């Protein structure tokens, strides 16, 4: 059992990597990579971090994941707030590093891989539909995580499964909302960019948290007999 301080540090690092690599790929090479390439940038970030910080903190790197784990009784209540603070700080630092990289070219920072909706973003879905999409995508992602981490026998493949499930939801979600499913991932870029990204941020905080709660509830109702 690792001390809380090490867990928070691991969550900080993991979320920083997710934002820097995932959002960075979208912001700097999205046109060349396409949706599939960006989806794999996010997913592979999870895979990499799962096997290095997973043994320390569980590699949540997402407040929605931590909330689901808290509801399922898989993390101490006293550590939940620390996880969320560390994840949010890591996301902001990842966005700061990405912004510095872009600014070093002398070009203005037009994108940090922020989430959004409406005219001019993806296919232009409404705010209401964006809210629904984020709930559904987060539900799929969190439900998968709860399932694959419920059995210790899955520990050697859990990181890969979780990473690929993030790829899965991004393949659809990038063209709709940019696929948040993670309040911290959305917070970092939005805070630095301000404007419309910041105004729309509430959708990408509230909807993923609702999706996480629903996933925890459905898992308890359908899968509880599989738990030891």
Q: What CATH number corresponds to the domain at position 97? A: 1.20.1080.10
Per the structure, the count of domains in the chain is: 1
pLDDT at 136 over 80: yes
In tens, the pLDDT along 6-65 reads 999 999 999 999 999 999 999 999 889 999 999 999 999 999 999 999 999 999 999 999
Structural tokens at position 126? 């409404």
pLDDT at 225 over 80: no
Q: What was the pLDDT predicted at 228?
A: 42
For residues 105-115, average pLDDT = 94
Instruction: Give the count of alpha carbons within 13 A of 50, CB side only.
Output: 21
pLDDT at 226 over 80: no
Rounded CA separation 79/195 (Å): 33
Instruction: Kindly report the pTM of this predicted structure.
Output: 0.95
pLDDT at 197 over 70: yes
pLDDT at 201 over 90: yes
Q: Comparing 174 with 152, which gets the higher pLDDT?
A: 174
C-beta separation of 134 from 203 below 8 A: yes
pLDDT at 153 over 90: no
Rounded CA separation 136/130 (Å): 10
Rounded CA separation 129/91 (Å): 25
In tens, the pLDDT along 60-98 reads 999 999 999 999 999 999 999 999 999 999 999 999 999
List of long-range contacts for 135-138, beta carbons under 8 Å, 24+ apart: 135/207, 135/208, 135/210, 135/211, 135/214, 136/211, 137/169, 137/172, 137/173, 137/179, 137/181, 137/211, 138/64, 138/169, 138/180, 138/181, 138/207, 138/208, 138/210, 138/211, 138/212, 138/215
Q: Comparing 216 with 30, which gets the higher pLDDT?
A: 216
Domain that holds residue 184: 4-226
C-beta separation of 66 from 84 below 8 A: yes
Rounded CA separation 37/51 (Å): 21
Q: What was the pLDDT predicted at 216?
A: 97
Confidence of residue 227 (pLDDT cuts 50, 70, 90): very low
C-beta separation of 134 from 204 below 8 A: yes
Confidence of residue 155 (pLDDT cuts 50, 70, 90): confident
Structural tokens at position 175? 């063209």
Average pLDDT, the chain: 96
Structural tokens at position 188? 């970092």
In tens, the pLDDT along 176-187 reads 999 999 999 999
Q: What was the pLDDT predicted at 63?
A: 98
> 59: closest CA among 14, 21, 93?
14
């Amino acid at each position: 059992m690792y001390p809380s301080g090490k867990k928070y540090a691991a969550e900080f690092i993991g979320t920083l990597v997710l934002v820097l690599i995932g959002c960075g790929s979208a912001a700097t090479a999205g046109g060349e990579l396409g949706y599939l390439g960006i989806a794999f940038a996010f997913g592979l970030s999870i895979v990499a971090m799962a096997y290095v910080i997973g043994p320390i903190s569980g590699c949540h790197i997402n407040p929605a994941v931590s909330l689901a784990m808290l509801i399922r009784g898989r993390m101490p209540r006293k550590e939940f707030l620390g996880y969320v603070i560390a994840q949010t700080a890591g996301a902001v630092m990842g966005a700061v590093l990405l912004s510095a990289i872009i600014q070093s070219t002398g070009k203005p920072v037009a994108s940090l891989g922020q989430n959004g909706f409406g005219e001019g973003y993806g296919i232009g879905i409404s705010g209401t539909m964006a809210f629904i999409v984020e709930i559904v995508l987060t539900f799929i992602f969190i439900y998968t995580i709860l399932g694959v981490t419920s059995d210790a026998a899955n520990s050697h493949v859990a990181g890969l499964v979780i990473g690929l499930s993030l790829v899965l939801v991004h393949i659809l979600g990038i063209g709709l909302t940019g696929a948040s499913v993670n309040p911290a991932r959305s917070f970092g870029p939005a805070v630095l960019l301000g404007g419309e990204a910041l105004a729309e941020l509430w959708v990408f905080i509230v909807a993923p948290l609702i999706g996480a709660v629903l996933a925890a509830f459905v898992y308890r109702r359908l899968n509880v007999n599989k738990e030891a």
